[in-house]
Chains A and B, each alone.
Chain A
């Protein structure tokens, strides 16, 4: 039998777990405080930074001026905000009720007696994990000194400045780079510690008993060593005996060596990590893109595609393994990553499962294209993949690997060449229309339900006065056959080529029209508007 307090707690945990409001609130707090993708977080960060700077300014002001009622109230408010933030961060750190429930369910499942105390201990342990993380400690230290009885801790208020770190990405990166050189920095610190200790001991032994010397305690000796080894050398304490001077000389030489060594460690760390940091920045930027395209391969074809993507103002990221191509793309201010797109984690990082809608596999190498296609398809079964095949045999393989569309540059040219030798003008015109030259385009207009197209006969539309040529109509799925001269099958639906004037449109039909882009856009607008306002428009 489970004791009564435990049943209450478990019941309460279940209620929390089932409550959508609780989850929503937690989610919102997460968005505000931690979620790197959230839109709200940058505002929150800036506001917190401003608060911190304001309180620090206040502290500086209070050093020489007595606090007024206003400043005290302000400080109290800020403190409460900090406390709320600290608790909120602790709250969203993990799901405590889940820990209890997991323990309870495990006990139920195994037929064991549920014991509340170990579960609670695990809850506290997890929260302690948060409380002992460096950033949480800084947060706490920033709050503590605000309590009036702890005025001694005023000095810790400076930790509020450290708190700024929390809100700035670049400083975190800086710290991470240095952290990777931990080994070298530790070695250096141990070396400095050893030299300081040795020299301090030596100078203390040599000079502590000398009348004229300023070194009276071991602390003086350590102070002098540190001031000397870092080449500051105030000169308030100077060695008086020849032995002391010898120690000073060794110390100065060691100091120069240490400074140059530490400089080179830091510079090296950044030199090594520069590319990585830049890439990280790139990935951070790709996270902001919505509905973006992943362009694998920035060769000749990629260049043409990208040019037109820019014209359409689409968001995209380029991946190419050749540094030259990447440099060219970056020169144009494009988002480009120099890496092999066949790597699954790279595709993951540029958002194949997040914000990308299309993958273009258009490198010059069929094998690479096939591999990228397969990888991308496995990672996301719904994403659209357009691939390039240089050999016609590859096209079938690409489709098998999961490409939605395959484009064959050489095949296209062969086709065009065959058309061209018989009908040069027509071929030019068609390719011109397809590529949107001189503003001419072929495009689709949907027959929206209840719009002027729904149920209309073609003659009523006055397409020629709208400066549009009707190419054909693609029927709505599942409609019955309508009288027309030429009907084709396009993807299981009927396509009526150049239907007669008596042809009646149904909702869901798609008109394929030819005309100036602006004429098409205008007509489409009218169709949309008429659907909204009834057929009056």
Chain B
């Protein structure tokens, strides 16, 4: 699989954090900004940088929008600029995945209307985090140190493929497969509204091709499970 090409618009505080986390994952990063100083800083960190005036469509095309960029982060400091960028990019590349950041409630809807696939509200997330810390400190502590932290517990989504071994199994059966130590959190049914359904609500559901399982577990077990799920199930012939 060729690595995804990701462009980050805006190398501010937020852009720096996103870039810092993304450079650990297998993808090609491109930092785009209109400020030479910010770009110089990004260059020092070893990122590819492009200077671009986002109001000009031809410049956006030069950066690679609509051609070889798969996903962009719109992290410009100003709300109106972000909306403008999202609309411009959406017009140029209808299939692009656009993730935008916002800092107010009202603009989330505007960004979505402009065509953003996901809108991240850092302050809302941080606020929710703080209130979780107060309400459920122990859970947050455990998650902090396992799923979010260095310990190798991960959350993953595993598609149910047509020829794979998972088709026709009940959700409850998936969860008790001994070999892989995984917790089934939920699933997204094929065709339906793509809403996440939690496993506790749907224990008796039989998996069908196109569904997507949400699992949590150690990275090695997830890898093994993914391989098994993709493989033809030998036992089905019996």
Q: Which residue of A lies closest to B178 (CB)?
A: A500
Q: How far is the CA of A112 from the CA of B87 in the complex (A)?
A: 92
Structural contact, B142 and A512, CB atoms closer than 8 A: yes
Instruction: Pick from B21, B126, B194: contact of A409, CB below 8 A.
Output: B126
With contact pairs A414-B18, A421-B22, A469-B200 given, residues A300 and B130 touching in the complex (Cβ less than 8 Å): no
Q: Which residue of A lies closest to B195 (CB)?
A: A438
Task: Confirm or deny: A185 has a beta carbon within 8 angstroms of a beta carbon on chain B.
Answer: no
Q: Given the complex, which residues of A lie within 8 Å of B6, measured CB to CB?
A: 421
With contact pairs A421-B25, A425-B196 given, residues A490 and B123 touching in the complex (Cβ less than 8 Å): no
Q: How many residues of A contact B (CB 8 A)?
A: 79
Task: Confirm or deny: A160 has a beta carbon within 8 angstroms of a beta carbon on chain B.
Answer: no
A477-495 contacts to B (CB < 8 Å): 485-486, 488-491, 495
Structural contact, A412 and B139, CB atoms closer than 8 A: no
With contact pairs A413-B17, A424-B118, A435-B128 given, residues A300 and B104 touching in the complex (Cβ less than 8 Å): yes
Least CB distance, B98 to chain A, in whole angstroms: 12
Least CB distance, B92 to chain A, in whole angstroms: 20
Q: Given the complex, which residues of A lie within 8 Å of B128, measured CB to CB?
A: 304, 308, 431, 434-435
Q: Given the complex, which residues of B lie within 8 Å of A303, measured CB to CB?
A: 123, 127
Q: Given the complex, which residues of B lie within 8 Å of A442, measured CB to CB?
A: 136, 139, 143
Q: How far is the CA of A302 from the CA of B130 in the complex (A)?
A: 9
Instruction: Pick from B17, B118, B124, B186: contact of A420, CB below 8 A.
Output: B118
Q: How far is the CA of A451 from the CA of B14 in the complex (A)?
A: 48
CB-based A-B contact count at 8 angstroms: 221
Q: How far is the CA of A341 from the CA of B221 in the complex (A)?
A: 49
Determine chain A's interface SS by DSSP, over half rule: mixed
Instruction: Pick from B131, B133, B148, B183: contact of A470, CB below 8 A.
Output: B183
Q: Given the complex, which residues of B lie within 8 Å of A414, measured CB to CB?
A: 14, 17-22
Q: How far is the CA of A475 from the CA of B224 in the complex (A)?
A: 28
Structural contact, B136 and A443, CB atoms closer than 8 A: yes
Least CB distance, A372 to chain B, in whole angstroms: 14
Residue interface bits A416-430, CB-to-B below 8 A is 1, else 0: 111111111111111
Structural contact, B142 and A495, CB atoms closer than 8 A: yes
Q: Which residue of B lies closest to A391 (CB)?
A: B13
Structural contact, B145 and A488, CB atoms closer than 8 A: yes
Q: Given the complex, which residues of A lie within 8 Å of B25, measured CB to CB?
A: 418, 421-422
Structural contact, B148 and A302, CB atoms closer than 8 A: no
Instruction: Pick from A302, A391, A427, A469: contact of B183, CB below 8 A.
Output: A469
With contact pairs A416-B125, A444-B139 given, residues A410 and B181 touching in the complex (Cβ less than 8 Å): no
With contact pairs A300-B103, A386-B133, A418-B24 given, residues A410 and B13 touching in the complex (Cβ less than 8 Å): yes
Task: Confirm or deny: A356 has a beta carbon within 8 angstroms of a beta carbon on chain B.
Answer: no
B220-236 contacts to A (CB < 8 Å): 221
With contact pairs A440-B198, A515-B200 given, residues A410 and B155 touching in the complex (Cβ less than 8 Å): no
Structural contact, B134 and A390, CB atoms closer than 8 A: no
Q: How far is the CA of A431 from the CA of B124 in the complex (A)?
A: 11
Instruction: Pick from B131, B212, B217: contact of A425, CB below 8 A.
Output: B212
A-B contact pairs, 30 of them (CB 8 A): A300-B123, A300-B124, A301-B127, A301-B130, A302-B127, A304-B131, A309-B131, A386-B130, A390-B13, A410-B122, A412-B129, A415-B21, A418-B25, A422-B25, A428-B196, A444-B138, A467-B201, A469-B183, A469-B185, A472-B142, A474-B138, A486-B221, A488-B145, A491-B141, A497-B181, A497-B217, A514-B199, A514-B200, A516-B200, A516-B201
B24-82 contacts to A (CB < 8 Å): 24-25, 27, 71, 73
A243-273 contacts to B (CB < 8 Å): none
Least CB distance, A91 to chain B, in whole angstroms: 44
Q: How far is the CA of A429 from the CA of B125 in the complex (A)?
A: 14
Structural contact, B188 and A425, CB atoms closer than 8 A: yes
Q: How far is the CA of A495 from the CA of B16 in the complex (A)?
A: 33
Q: Given the complex, which residues of B lie within 8 Å of A418, measured CB to CB?
A: 18, 21-22, 24-25
Task: Confirm or deny: A132 has a beta carbon within 8 angstroms of a beta carbon on chain B.
Answer: no
Structural contact, B127 and A429, CB atoms closer than 8 A: no
Q: Given the complex, which residues of B lie within 8 Å of A426, measured CB to CB?
A: 155-157, 185, 214
